[in-house]
Amino acid sequence: MKALRNFFEKTKPYVGKGGKYHWLHSTHDAFFTFLFVPKTTSGSGTHIHDYIDMKRTMSIVVLALVPALLFGIYNAGYQHFGALGQLASASFTDRFVFGLLKVMPIILVSYAVGLGIEFIFAQFRGHEVNEGFLVTGMLIPLVMPVTTPLWMIAVSTAFSVIFCKEVFGGTGMNVWNPALVARAFLFFAYPAQISGDAVWISAEGVEKMADGFTGATPMAKAAMGDTGFDLWNAFIGLIPGSIGETSKIAILIGALILVITGIGSWRIMLSMVLGGLFMGILLNLSGSDNIYLALPFWQHLLIGGFLFGAVFMATDPVSAAQTTKGKWIYGFLTGVLAILIRVVNPAYPEGTMMAILLMNTFAPLIDYWVVQGNITRRLKRAGVKA
Amino acid sequence: MSKHFKLKRGLDIRLKGAAEPLLKDAPAPRTIALKPTDFFGLTPKLSVKADTRVKAGDALFFDKYHPEIIFTSPVSGTVNAINRGERRKILEVVVEPDREQEFRTFTAADPLTLTREEIKKQILASGLWPFVKQRPYGILARPEDTPGHIFISGFDSSPLAPDYEFIFKDDREALQQGINALSKLTDGSVYVGLSPAQKNGIFASLNNVVINTFEGPHPAGNVGVQIHHVSPVFKGDVVWTVSPQGVVYMGRLFREGRLNLSKIIALTGPEVKKPHYYKTIQGAELTDLLSNTTKKENHERVISGNVLTGTKTDPDDHLGFFDQMVTVIPEGDDYELLGWALPGNDKFSASNTFLSRLFPKKEYVLNANLHGGERAFVMTGQYEKFLPMDILPVYLLKAVITNDIDRMEQLGIYEVVEEDLALCEYADTSKIKVQQILREGIHAMIKEVG
């Protein structure tokens, strides 16, 4: 390890200002600081600093995503062999390996494109490479259908990193959640390739679907008036859907990691779920004959990307509301809107993405209101005293 | 009326090396120094030159804009050196003490029998006025003001802080006299904030004060936090704060009719062999004290003050004006292989992301490493956990960064000084220099609003 450190220390002058390989500066710095926590000590202010840093924070989010990722990989294989009608003959390993071969390239493309752009921007700005994309790069594959062509992953990732993040100043400055912007970009730019019933299952080499097999997600079916999906399978995650969103168990494990470590805001998660349930109850109470409106309110949590959005997307600290009270309001309204759009608007099969992006837009307004409240309250205190 | 405040937000950093209640005499310091840099916003003018002979209580320098505020030598001796920094800024005035001490004499009288003007005059002339700070801003108080109230925090809650009940145990009378003097300077009250543990201590036995208790983790002992809960400062208000050590000095001044600036400090920190208390004097040189009390195993960082707000000092430097402790920690200027990824059962953290969370009693060796690179604001809700005030620290800091005076005012810049937000800086994932930003904001306020 010492040799490695020496290598980085010795090569440092070459990438420094005026060095021959200065264009590699951000790359050198990123790898060096990844391997070794720098020896920089406090120059002013507090003499001690917490051991937590952005690398640890972001890697814990990635860790929380791992259960959903692993299940997504397995489910890709499961759905494929299911479509073939060969589930019985495909072993666990067969399903997993098939899924791995499908999902891995998507992850690689997402990271390669996104990190490449981040490195270039860091170089131009003279900043250190930010760790935010470690999470975004994992979220993007998990919100895509498994059949999305790799070039679309590349284009949408590039679009979101450049136009959603870097133009605003990089990690910490963006208005919207970058992973959702990537998803939304595909949704509007290539609607045919990212919606419909055929995209959820990798059906390569499938000439004829097994009898009675449609490939539609339970949510799409519900929108068509068929709410007879298997609740248990929806909970476990053995249903068609975007790679990471299907398994509610895996998502809950991730939620547990985020809440225990304090990295994800439990307030946003809880209030969004409450908002969703509230809207579900309202729809139930509307007394309509429409079978989707009458879907028992709690079952909305089991289908689509609602739970995934609540745990991993709405909680992005940069694009969410930042004040404590604001988080409650933001989460609740996101939940309400997600279910409202999902059920009432026929143009969109799922409302979570739209709801979160919309509330991202309004988050600063919510915070503004909360901050004004703080100011008024403090002034009142002054008045009482005088 | 005595009130009890229960503060939930904050953090007690479990640093190794708290001082045992054992008192020794520190070696007599070779030199004594007074540092203008200990006073924010001060423009010093010298009253002495090198080789000038001074008595204890003679002025070394004064405030250019308030010439009546003088800074006096704690000992009699010869001015040894005037050390200057960049652009001839005065860093310290060093005095070599005589063997036989000579003192300037002042009036020895019960302050309750004196008038406000007489008391002010004596405190100013003795050089003890700089112990009086004003809020807003935490700067030297203006003698012409009459403060709404005067606040004294009777305990220090910062990491490894000395126990005030221990270091002032022989100063009860001086404390009382000092408080009597201060009570004459305000039309309001003198408030003393105590921790619940001090119920039967010396501070609780003081008269002529209003005692409030503050329960909770650091920064419950910060006088700014206590003011916020008792009588918050808004635009146009002025309150004063005095450290207990300053009160004791003032009390001794009125009792003995001369300066008596001996003080007890705690020598603490993981790099100190046997942390305990030492009796020394205001502004003492630390060389002999530190020469064989630290471990010398690692590259050491000596801090005059505590690890959150103290000043980095050379081992042959002098004790800061307001400092009641010296902390020695490892510098930690070394690389750590994949340090951010380790489980971290030996890494104390305010976050729940390290295994150390499972050992709620353990004490830790913490070093001066930043443990990560500086980033933009990303995590939210982090600062609020460490500031027990109705203030939104991130929004306040953002107002400072954008230099928005109105917003700073609305968001509470009058109520905070750096030490109140020091924990936010400690715990920050993004390693943002919170105290420095806040200081710039206060600077801007003084310049624009005054």
Domain chopping of chain A, boundaries: 54-372
Q: Which two tokens stand for residue B331?
A: 């510098």
Q: If one looks up domain B32-97 in CATH, what number appears?
A: 2.40.50
Interface test with B, best of A6, A37, A367 (most B CBs within 10 A): A37
For position A203, what pLDDT does the model report? 62
Residues of A in contact with B333 (CB under 8 A): 39-41
Q: Could you give the CA distance from residue A373 to residue B101 in angstroms, rounded to a whole number?
A: 60
Query: Could you tell me if A380 lies within 8 Å of chain B, comparing CB atoms?
Result: no
- Name the DSSP letter for residue A131: T
Please, is A106 exposed, middle or buried when counting C-beta atoms within 10 Å of its C-beta (0-12, 13-18, 19+)?
buried
CA dihedral of A344, A346, A347, A348, whole degrees rounded to 10: 60
CB contact under 8 A, B394 and A322: yes
- Of A360-369, B58-67, B298-307, B351-360, the range with the lowest mean pLDDT is B351-360
CB < 8 Å from A in window 299-328 of B: 301, 303, 307-310, 312, 327
Q: Kindly report, residue by residue over B71-85, the tens digit of the pLDDT.
A: 999 999 999 999 999
Q: Could you give the CA distance from residue B37 to residue A309 in angstroms, rounded to a whole number?
A: 52
Query: Could you tell me if A169 lies within 8 Å of chain B, comparing CB atoms?
Result: yes
Cα separations in angstroms, A278 against A273, A294, A304, A340, A356:
8, 14, 17, 10, 17
pTM over 0.80: yes
For position A206, what pLDDT does the model report? 54
For B98-235, list the strands marked E by DSSP: 132-135, 139-140, 150-153, 190-194, 210-215
Read off the pLDDT of each residue in A317-324 and give the average, rounded to a whole number: 92
Q: Kindly report, residue by residue over A84-117, the tens digit of the pLDDT.
A: 777 778 888 888 998 899 899 999 999 999 999 9
CB B184 within 8 A of CB B228: no
Residues of A in contact with B344 (CB under 8 A): 51
> What is the rounded end-to-end Cα distance, in angstroms, of chain A?
65
Residues of A in contact with B337 (CB under 8 A): 1, 5, 35-36
CB contact under 8 A, A374 and B334: no
For chain A, list the strands marked E by DSSP: 36-37
Query: Could you tell me if B331 lies within 8 Å of chain A, comparing CB atoms?
Result: yes
Q: Could you give the CA distance from residue A110 to residue A157 in angstroms, rounded to a whole number?
A: 6
Domain ranges in chain B are 4-9+120-256, 32-97, 383-448
User: A385 pLDDT exceeds 60?
Assistant: no
Q: Kindly report, residue by residue over A200-243, the tens digit of the pLDDT.
A: 777 655 555 555 556 677 777 776 666 667 788 888 888 888 89
Residues of B in contact with A45 (CB under 8 A): 418, 422, 425, 433-436
Q: Which CATH class for the B4-9+120-256 domain?
A: alpha beta
Helix axes of A150-159 and A132-142: crossing angle, nearest 10 degrees: 140
Closest CA–CA distance from residue A199 to any residue of chain B (Å) = 35
- Residue B69: closest CA among B33, B105, B43, B35: B43
Closest CA–CA distance from residue B106 to any residue of chain A (Å) = 39
For position A386, what pLDDT does the model report? 43
Q: Could you give the CA distance from residue A333 to residue B31 in angstroms, rounded to a whole number?
A: 66
Residues of B in contact with A320 (CB under 8 A): 380
Q: Coil, strand or helix: which one is A56?
A: helix
Q: Kindly report, residue by residue over A246-271, the tens digit of the pLDDT.
A: 899 999 999 999 999 999 999 999 99
Q: Could you give the CA distance from residue A121 to residue A133 in angstroms, rounded to a whole number?
A: 13
Query: Could you tell me if B332 lies within 8 Å of chain A, comparing CB atoms?
Result: yes
Amino acid at B23: L
Read off the pLDDT of each residue in B159-186 and give the average, rounded to a whole number: 95
Q: Kindly report, residue by residue over B346-386, the tens digit of the pLDDT.
A: 888 888 888 888 888 889 999 998 888 888 888 888 899 99
Q: Which two tokens stand for residue B198?
A: 């001090």
Identify the H or E element spanning B32: strand B32-34
Tokens 């760790």 -> residue: A131
CB contact under 8 A, B434 and A49: no
Q: Could you give the CA distance from residue A297 to residue A315 in angstroms, rounded to a whole number?
A: 23
CB contact under 8 A, A50 and B426: yes
Q: Could you give the CA distance from residue A11 to residue A14 in angstroms, rounded to a whole number?
A: 5
Tokens 């309004």 -> residue: A362
Closest CA–CA distance from residue B100 to any residue of chain A (Å) = 39
Of A171, A172, A324, the CB nearest to B384: A324
Residues of A in contact with B339 (CB under 8 A): 36-37, 51
